[in-house]
Amino acid sequence: MPPANVEQLPGQTDTVRYWPALDGLRGLAVLAVVLFHAQVSQVRGGFAGVDIFFVLSGFLITSQLLHELHCAGSIRWSHFFMRRLVRLQPALLLMLLAYILAWVAGWIPGPGSTVARDVGTVLLAMAHWARALDWYPPDYLGHAWSLGIEEQFYLLWALLLAAMGRYAARRWNVLLLALAGAIASMIWMLWLHTTGAGPVRLYNGLDTRAMALLFGCALASGLHTRQPHLLVDTPRPLHHASRSRTASVIGPMALSLLLLAMVSVEWRHPLMFPWGYASLALTAALLVWALVAAPTGLCSTLLAWPPLVAVGKISYGLYLWHYPLFRVAEAQAPKAGISVPFAMALAACLTVLAAWVSYVLLERPLRMCLASHYRPKA
């Protein structure tokens, strides 16, 4: 799921910095996922966009939490929970309402009990476990597995840092905790794989996919410890010759590797568990670091391309709407007497429209309205 970036709102100062290139990276990631679900054969590794989302989520959420800890001296978990609720739930509820109406119209098969079960599974952020443990995986809402992983991780990670209190503010503590958790998740995935767990279990479990989120957390905590001015929107100049030179080398290499993975990697290949997914997460983390460390570098310039940034801004809506619309289009095309590719193209247009409406009428207004109520104060 696309992570919630922190936008620079009018009048807002001393907040977590906004990087347009990260929105562009989010735009690239969601395009890869959409093309993957559209079954475009040239983008068979488009699932890698989800790993980018996970790393970005860990990075941005940890940046917010550590900034709040620095400003206020503590992390107010209830405020964090409300921010996540406002950021994620309204757009999700709108999509689920449309899903129910589509079932009423006869475009989605199955009894009402199945629809209610699937909607409840998504609202309870349990779609990933329903898939991983083969309980009752949602069909037309199958993409919600990543929403469940991120929502559960957000709450658990914030609760852990809040419980650590001042220990979370001590040098290296959060970095070491995040790295230890990422390594433990990777080892756990390897152990499950060697003992016979299938790819669906390994791909969808919070325990195995927390690795990517925690690499993002480690990056944010490392920057917060060593170079906090990179994370906070202050007048201090960002340019540093040595850091920029390093980022100018690492950034293009990381971006090239991720693009290569998007067109060549199979999600269920045995070597992906855990080595492939660990490599994707580390590569995405290196790219995020390069974008943050060199905001005027080549990769930042490319990913800050305005159309790609615009896609990134509506990426949450694109992710929410594309999969059920694609499934409906694929199923209804023969009944409507049109070709499946044409129906999928129509679904893609509807996805963009729904995502734009969701962003303009729900996501951005609510975020701006409540930002002042849940902003850390010194």
Annotated domain spans of the chain: 20-374
- Which residues, at least 6 apart from 118, have a Cβ–Cβ distance to it below 8 Å? 136, 138, 139, 140, 141
So what's the pLDDT on residue 3? 56
So what's the pLDDT on residue 258? 98
Query: Chain-centre distance of CA 302, in angstroms?
Result: 20
Reported as a single tens digit per residue, the pLDDT across 150-200 is: 999 999 999 999 999 888 888 789 999 999 999 999 999 999 999 999 999
Query: Chain-centre distance of CA 275, in angstroms?
Result: 20
Reported as a single tens digit per residue, the pLDDT across 229-265 is: 666 654 444 556 567 788 989 999 999 999 999 999 9
Reported as a single tens digit per residue, the pLDDT across 7-19 is: 433 333 346 678 9
- Under the banding of pLDDT at 50, 70 and 90, the label for residue 84 is confident
So what's the pLDDT on residue 181? 98
141 has a pLDDT exceeding 60? yes
Reported as a single tens digit per residue, the pLDDT across 106-117 is: 999 999 999 999
Reported as a single tens digit per residue, the pLDDT across 260-297 is: 999 999 999 999 999 999 999 999 999 999 999 988 89
Residues 92/147, Cβ–Cβ less than 8 Å: yes
